[in-house]
Amino acid sequence: MGVFSFWIRWKLKKSLCDKNTYIRISLPAVCFVWQIAMVLLFGIFIRYNEEADAHWVEHKQQHNLTDIDNDFYFRYPSFQDVHVMIFVGFGFLMTFLKRYSFGGVGFNFLIAAFGLQWALLMQGWFHSLDQDTGKIYIGIENLINADFCVAGCLIAYGALLGKVSPVQLMVVTLFGITLYAVEEYIILNLLHCRDAGGSMVIHCFGGYYGLAISWVLYRPNLHQSKHNEGSVYHSDVFAMIGTLFLWMFWPSFNSAITNHGDGQHRAVINTYIALAASVVTAVAISSMFHSKGKLDMVHIQNATLAGGVAMGTSAEFMISPYGALIVGFFMGIISTFGYVIVTPFLAKSLKLQDTCGVHNLHAVPGMLGGFIAAIVAAFASDSVYSHQGLINTFDLTGEYASRTMSTQGGYQAAGTCVAMAFGLIGGAIVGLILKLPIWGDPADDNCFDDEAYWELPEEEEETIAPVLEYNNHMIQKHQDIAESNFSMEEC
Amino acid sequence: MGVFSFWIRWKLKKSLCDKNTYIRISLPAVCFVWQIAMVLLFGIFIRYNEEADAHWVEHKQQHNLTDIDNDFYFRYPSFQDVHVMIFVGFGFLMTFLKRYSFGGVGFNFLIAAFGLQWALLMQGWFHSLDQDTGKIYIGIENLINADFCVAGCLIAYGALLGKVSPVQLMVVTLFGITLYAVEEYIILNLLHCRDAGGSMVIHCFGGYYGLAISWVLYRPNLHQSKHNEGSVYHSDVFAMIGTLFLWMFWPSFNSAITNHGDGQHRAVINTYIALAASVVTAVAISSMFHSKGKLDMVHIQNATLAGGVAMGTSAEFMISPYGALIVGFFMGIISTFGYVIVTPFLAKSLKLQDTCGVHNLHAVPGMLGGFIAAIVAAFASDSVYSHQGLINTFDLTGEYASRTMSTQGGYQAAGTCVAMAFGLIGGAIVGLILKLPIWGDPADDNCFDDEAYWELPEEEEETIAPVLEYNNHMIQKHQDIAESNFSMEEC
Amino acid sequence: MGVFSFWIRWKLKKSLCDKNTYIRISLPAVCFVWQIAMVLLFGIFIRYNEEADAHWVEHKQQHNLTDIDNDFYFRYPSFQDVHVMIFVGFGFLMTFLKRYSFGGVGFNFLIAAFGLQWALLMQGWFHSLDQDTGKIYIGIENLINADFCVAGCLIAYGALLGKVSPVQLMVVTLFGITLYAVEEYIILNLLHCRDAGGSMVIHCFGGYYGLAISWVLYRPNLHQSKHNEGSVYHSDVFAMIGTLFLWMFWPSFNSAITNHGDGQHRAVINTYIALAASVVTAVAISSMFHSKGKLDMVHIQNATLAGGVAMGTSAEFMISPYGALIVGFFMGIISTFGYVIVTPFLAKSLKLQDTCGVHNLHAVPGMLGGFIAAIVAAFASDSVYSHQGLINTFDLTGEYASRTMSTQGGYQAAGTCVAMAFGLIGGAIVGLILKLPIWGDPADDNCFDDEAYWELPEEEEETIAPVLEYNNHMIQKHQDIAESNFSMEEC
Mutual angle of helices C101-123 and B262-288, in 10-degree steps = 130
Fold of C26-450: Ammonium transporter fold (1.10.3430)
- How many Cα atoms within 13 Å fall on the side-chain side of residue B453? 31
Contact assignment for B117 to A277 by CB distance below 8 Å: yes
Q: How confident is the model at residue C13 (pLDDT cuts 50, 70, 90)?
A: low
- For residues A437 and C90, the model is more confident at C90
Tell me the pLDDT of chain A averaged across its residues.
91
pLDDT digits over C224-248, tens only?
998 888 999 999 999 999 999 999 9
The pLDDT value given to residue B466: 47
Between A87-101, A342-356, A446-460, B245-259, the lowest mean confidence (pLDDT) is in A446-460
Q: Distance (Å, rounded) from C-alpha A199 to C-alpha A267?
A: 13
Contact predicate C259/C395, CB 8 Å: no
The pLDDT value given to residue A490: 42
Q: How confident is the model at residue A401 (pLDDT cuts 50, 70, 90)?
A: very high
- How many Cα atoms within 13 Å fall on the side-chain side of residue A425? 9
What secondary structure letter does DSSP report for B135? -
The pLDDT value given to residue B482: 52
The pLDDT value given to residue C465: 46
Could you tell me how many helices (H) and strands (E) chain C has, helices first?
A: 21, 4
Least CB–CB distance from B321: residue in C36, C42, C84: C42
pLDDT digits over A358-399, tens only?
999 999 999 999 999 999 999 999 999 999 999 999 999 999
- A46 beta partners: A136
Angle, CA A390 vertex, CA A386 and CA A396 arms, to 5°: 145
Contact predicate B115/B145, CB 8 Å: no
As a whole number, mean pLDDT of residues A103-120 equals 97
Mutual angle of helices A233-255 and A72-84, in 10-degree steps = 160
Contact predicate C313/C365, CB 8 Å: no
- How many Cα atoms within 13 Å fall on the side-chain side of residue C196? 32
- For residues A461 and A270, the model is more confident at A270
Is residue A294 within 8 angstroms of chain B, CB to CB? yes
Query: Between A and C, how many CB-CB pairs are < 8 A?
Result: 268
What separation in angstroms does the CA of A28 have from each of A33, A166, C282, C285, C293?
8, 11, 9, 7, 9
DSSP characters over C442-472: PPGGGTT-GGGTEE---HHHHHHHHHHHHHH
CA dihedral B148, B150, B155, B158 (to 10 degrees): -150
Least CB–CB distance from C54: residue in B248, B279, B389: B389
What secondary structure letter does DSSP report for B442? P
What secondary structure letter does DSSP report for B71? T
Chain B residues touching residue C27 (CB < 8 angstroms):
283-284, 287, 293
User: ipTM of the assembly?
Assistant: 0.90
Between A204-218, B117-131, B345-359, B473-487, the lowest mean confidence (pLDDT) is in B473-487
Contact assignment for A287 to B28 by CB distance below 8 Å: yes
Dihedral sign from CA coordinates of A249, A251, A256, A262: negative
pLDDT digits over C425-435, tens only?
999 999 999 99
Chain A residues touching residue C479 (CB < 8 angstroms):
478, 481
Per CATH, the number for B78-104+183-452 is 1.10.3430.10
Residue from C357, C353, C354 nearest C339 by CA: C357
What secondary structure letter does DSSP report for A111? H
Percent of chain C with pLDDT over 90: 84
Which residues in chain A (99-138) have CB-CB distances under 8 A to chain B? Answer: none
Chain A residues touching residue B166 (CB < 8 angstroms):
283, 295
Q: How confident is the model at residue A437 (pLDDT cuts 50, 70, 90)?
A: confident
Chain C residues touching residue A449 (CB < 8 angstroms):
none
The pLDDT value given to residue B437: 84
What separation in angstroms does the CA of B308 have from each of B236, B248, B368?
21, 10, 12
Q: Distance (Å, rounded) from C-alpha C255 to C-alpha A31?
A: 28
Instruction: Give the residue on B whose Cα is nearest the Cα of C167.
Output: B284
Contact predicate B147/B83, CB 8 Å: yes
Q: Distance (Å, rounded) from C-alpha C142 to C-alpha C127?
A: 9
Q: Distance (Å, rounded) from C-alpha B224 to C-alpha B19?
A: 14
- B454 beta partners: A295
- How many Cα atoms within 13 Å fall on the side-chain side of residue A262? 24
Dihedral sign from CA coordinates of A157, A159, A165, A171: negative
Q: How confident is the model at residue A7 (pLDDT cuts 50, 70, 90)?
A: low
Chain B interface, mutation test: which of A64, A319, A325, most B Cβ atoms within 10 Å? Answer: A325
Q: Residue C13: what are its φ and ψ, rounded to 5°?
A: -60, -40
Least CB–CB distance from B237: residue in C34, C105, C117: C105
Q: Residue B428: helix, strand or coil by DSSP? A: helix
What separation in angstroms does the CA of B355 have from each of B151, B345, B347?
17, 14, 10
Q: Distance (Å, rounded) from C-alpha B249 to C-alpha C88?
A: 12
Q: Which residues contact residue C24 at a Cβ distance below 8 angstroms, ignoring those fewer than 6 apart? A: B287, B288, B290, B291, B292, B293
Q: Residue B279: what are its φ and ψ, rounded to 5°?
A: -60, -50
- How many Cα atoms within 13 Å fall on the side-chain side of residue B405? 18
Is residue B41 within 8 angstroms of chain C, CB to CB? no
Is residue B485 within 8 angstroms of chain C, CB to CB? yes
Is residue A19 within 8 angstroms of chain C, CB to CB? no
Q: Distance (Å, rounded) from C-alpha C275 to C-alpha C247?
A: 7
Q: How confident is the model at residue C1 (pLDDT cuts 50, 70, 90)?
A: very low
Q: Is the pLDDT of residue C32 over 90?
A: yes
Chain C residues touching residue B265 (CB < 8 angstroms):
48, 51-52, 56, 70, 72, 139-140
- C137 beta partners: C47
Q: Is the pLDDT of residue B478 over 80?
A: no
pLDDT digits over C121-175, tens only?
999 999 999 999 999 999 999 999 999 999 999 999 999 999 999 999 999 999 9
Contact predicate A243/A302, CB 8 Å: yes
The pLDDT value given to residue B439: 87
The pLDDT value given to residue A8: 59
Contact assignment for C276 to A106 by CB distance below 8 Å: no
Instruction: Give the residue on C whose Cα is nearest the Cα of A476.
Output: C475
The pLDDT value given to residue A22: 87
Percent of chain A with pLDDT over 90: 84
pLDDT digits over B385-425, tens only?
999 999 999 999 999 999 999 999 999 999 999 999 999 99
pLDDT digits over C424-460, tens only?
999 999 999 999 888 889 999 889 999 999 999 975 4
DSSP characters over A251-275: HHHHHTTS-TTHHHHHHHHHHHHHH
Dihedral sign from CA coordinates of B304, B308, B311, B313: negative
The pLDDT value given to residue A19: 63
Q: Distance (Å, rounded) from C-alpha C173 to C-alpha B91?
A: 32
Q: Residue B138: what are its φ and ψ, rounded to 5°?
A: -110, 150
Q: Is the pLDDT of residue A491 over 50?
A: no
Q: Is the pLDDT of residue A327 over 80?
A: yes
Q: Distance (Å, rounded) from C-alpha A153 to C-alpha A110?
A: 12
- Max Cα-Cα span within chain A: 110
pLDDT digits over C49-74, tens only?
999 999 999 999 999 999 899 999 99
Residue from B338, B289, B332 nearest B308 by CA: B332
Percent of chain B with pLDDT over 70: 89
The pLDDT value given to residue C60: 92
Least CB–CB distance from A52: residue in C240, C262, C463: C262
Dihedral sign from CA coordinates of A315, A320, A325, A331: negative
CA dihedral C27, C29, C32, C36 (to 10 degrees): -140
Q: Is the pLDDT of residue A413 over 70?
A: yes
The pLDDT value given to residue C490: 42
Q: How confident is the model at residue A458 (pLDDT cuts 50, 70, 90)?
A: confident
Residue from C174, C238, C161, C196 nearest C82 by CA: C196
Q: Distance (Å, rounded) from C-alpha C176 to C-alpha B441?
A: 53
What secondary structure letter does DSSP report for A442? P
A 10 A CB-CB count for A193 gives: 27
Q: Distance (Å, rounded) from C-alpha B22 to C-alpha B442?
A: 10
A 10 A CB-CB count for C348 gives: 9
Contact predicate B86/B119, CB 8 Å: no
Return the CA Rg of chain C. Answer: 26
Strand B295-296 relative to strand C454-455: parallel, antiparallel, unpaired? Answer: parallel
**Architecture per CATH, A30-452:** Orthogonal Bundle (1.10)
Q: Residue C194: helix, strand or coil by DSSP? A: coil
Which residues in chain C (227-286) have CB-CB distances under 8 A to chain B? Answer: 234, 238, 241
What secondary structure letter does DSSP report for A295? E
The pLDDT value given to residue B21: 81
- C455 beta partners: B296
Q: How confident is the model at residue B17 (pLDDT cuts 50, 70, 90)?
A: very low
Q: Which residues contact residue C441 at a Cβ distance below 8 angstroms, ignoring those fewer than 6 apart? A: C19, C21, C163, C164, C165, C168, C434
- How many Cα atoms within 13 Å fall on the side-chain side of residue C37? 12
The pLDDT value given to residue A210: 97
Q: Which residues of A88-99 are buried (b: 16+ CB within 10 A; e: fewer)?
A: bbbbbbbbbbbb
